Structure 1
Amino acid sequence: MAPAAPAETTFTVYKSIKSHQFLVSLLVEFLGVLLFSFLGSTVTDPQLGPWVNGLALAVMIYMAANISGGHLNPAVTMSTLLCGFYPVLHAVLYIALQILGGIFGSLLAAGLMPGTKTGMGAKGPGCFNGGAAGLNNSQLFGWECIMTFTLISAVYACGIAKPGHGSFTPLVVGLTLTACAGTGAKWTGAALNPARVIGPTAVFGCGKKVWWIYVLAQLLAAVLACAVFAFVSGWGPLSPLKAINDYGMNMHEAIKMWVTGTPPPRFRENREDNMEDVAARLEKEAEPAAKA
């Protein structure tokens, strides 16, 4: 069994892209999004929707955290990539499997819900069709951006910042989704996750005119959440800016490390070291000099 991830760095867990554990993490992200999408989209009582979605997300993150980091959301993965907490290659594969998970979650809903079939249009379970009557595209974009920003900010504050909130992190993130859905579901459906939008669009053919608005708003939120966290707490250890300015890497080394997640050989004590290990060691070595 893989060792447990440090509680304060849950969302930054990654292993070599060639390792068996990374393949397992891809499977976990796929299954996590599939189950989250299925459970969240098949709620029949609108009053329970925010709670079911929030609890489902919390449970899935608890299940996935020590294996894949529990991203379960392309916007979360993209944000951690931009901020230097996750490698490019790993993130691209994560996002692909998350989107596939959303699609298969919708297929499962189509197969198990009576009266539901693929291609049925706007009445398909989990469809995001543009929100409330009278809501224009700018308002739709604004709602989704703000809610997704709030969700990703909770991820940063609880699951990435040090010290984090340990085993409470998945619960806090789930409750954040509940809070956002409780206010925003009336207006947009409260997707907050590109995989949750693309899945039903691909399976049921719904929201064809607005799906891209949801996704662009969520991706902008990912960029903004990264920018705020970087301003408040600094860039992640894989960030080329941090690697060059703080660790003395050259541009080629910094970019290659950001893409692959593997520090240059001259910084590693063994082949298993990732940049989190290297950064911790460099910071520890710098402490005596700082005190002097």
Structure 2
Amino acid sequence: MGLLGISLAFGLSVVVFAYAIGGISGCHINPAVTIGVLAAGRISARDAIVYIAAQVIGAILGAFVLKTILTGQTNGFNAGEWAFGSNGWGKGYQNEFNMMSAFITEAVLTAVFLFVILATTSKVGNGTMAGLAIGLTLVLIHMVAIPITGTSVNPARSLGPAIFAGGEAISQLWLFLVAPIVGGVIGSVLWRVTYSENKVAA
């Protein structure tokens, strides 16, 4: 599909589900987003725990389905390192960016993502267009980050594939758990500062 195709697939999936399940759960499908929203004071700790548990379970099940499909090739399937869309960095992974580049990329882009989410869904944001704005932001994030880390900005999205890929993917997983969460909190702080008089959710 190429860089643009993959980026669009991720972003448009979020657009679709923002409108499909946004009214039920706010389309919380990312622990970094949930933690960022928690830091912004727009969700309770109890709800955040439930959401994160569901996200992790969903990610593992999704990766399992992907693994099952791929290993069903009649001519055989060699998973190799960083299989099933795992995130990574360093020697042997795509353009071989170092750990610092990977961490900064994931943290900064997650911060941007959270800022857009919180801003567009705030009481002064355009709620009817929020799903589209959030999805298109994710498209742009993927276009930047795919060549560097494969794009996480979502700890659950990284956890699922890493569990089944093992090896380097699992040893490097910590970065894709920590950096997006750090970025999510930073994005939340930026939103609170920028929208200091608009802290109440729409």
Instruction: Tell whether the structures are fold-level matches, with TM greater than 0.5.
Output: yes
For residues 60-100 of structure 1, the C-alpha deviation after alignment (integer angstroms, 9 at most, x for no partner) is: 11111111111211011001111111000110110011011
2:25 partner letter? S
Equivalent residue, structure 2, for 1:205: 166
In the superposition, relative to structure 1, how do residues 81 and 155 fare at CA in structure 2: closer, same or farther (>3 Å)?
same
How many residue pairs get aligned? The number is 195
Quote the residue 1:184 is aligned against.
Answer: 145
Distance of 2:110 and 2:153 partners within structure 1:
5
Matched, 1:217 2:154: no
Q: Describe how 1:44-123 pairs up with structure 2 within 5 A.
A: 45-113=2-70, 114-115=72-73, 120-123=79-82
Superposition deviation, residue 204 in structure 1: 2.3
> Larger C-alpha radius of gyration, 1 or 2?
1
- AA in 2 matched with 1:58: V
Partners of 2:95 and 2:147 within 8 A in 1? no
RMSD: 2.4
Q: Identify if the C-alpha distance between structure 1 residues 47 and 225 changes in structure 2 by more than 3 Å, giving closer, same or farther.
A: closer
Q: Which residue of 1 aligns with 2:119?
A: 157
Map of 1:8-47 to 2, 5 A cutoff? 45-47=2-4
Tell whether the 8 Å contact from 1:128 to 1:188 is kept in structure 2 after alignment.
yes
- Give the superposition deviation at 1:57: 1.2
How far 1:177 moved relative to its partner? 0.6
User: Per-residue displacement from partner, 1:132-176 (whole Å, max 9, x unpaired)?
Assistant: 4431111100011111111111101111x2221122111111100
* Secondary structure in 1 matching 2:131: helix
Q: State the alpha-carbon separation in 2 of the partners of residues 119 and 84 from structure 1.
A: 45
1:173 paired residue number: 134
Deviation readout 1:92-138 (Å, 9 max, x if unpaired) = 11001101111111011112234499994525222112254431111
> Which of residues 87, 95, 105 is equivalent to 1:143?
105
Following superposition, the deviation at residue 49 of structure 1 comes to 0.5
**Aligned match of 2:195 in 233, 240, 253?**
233
TM-score (structure 1 length as normaliser)? 0.62
Identity %: 27
Structure 2: runs of 5+ lacking an equivalent = none
Between the aligned partners of 2:141 and 2:58, the Cα distance in structure 1 is 22
Judge which range, 125-134 or 111-120, deviates more. Answer: 111-120
Which of the pair has the greater relative contact order for Cα pairs under 8 Å at 6+ separation? 2
Is the partner of 2:41 in helix, strand or coil? coil
Q: d(CA) in 2 for partners of 1:212 and 1:115?
A: 31
**How far apart in 2 are the matches of 1:118 and 1:69?**
37
Is the CA contact (8 Å cut-off) linking 1:55 and 1:175 kept in structure 2? Answer: yes
Contact 2:163–2:170 (CA under 8 A) maintained in structure 1 = no
1:193 aligns with 2:154: yes
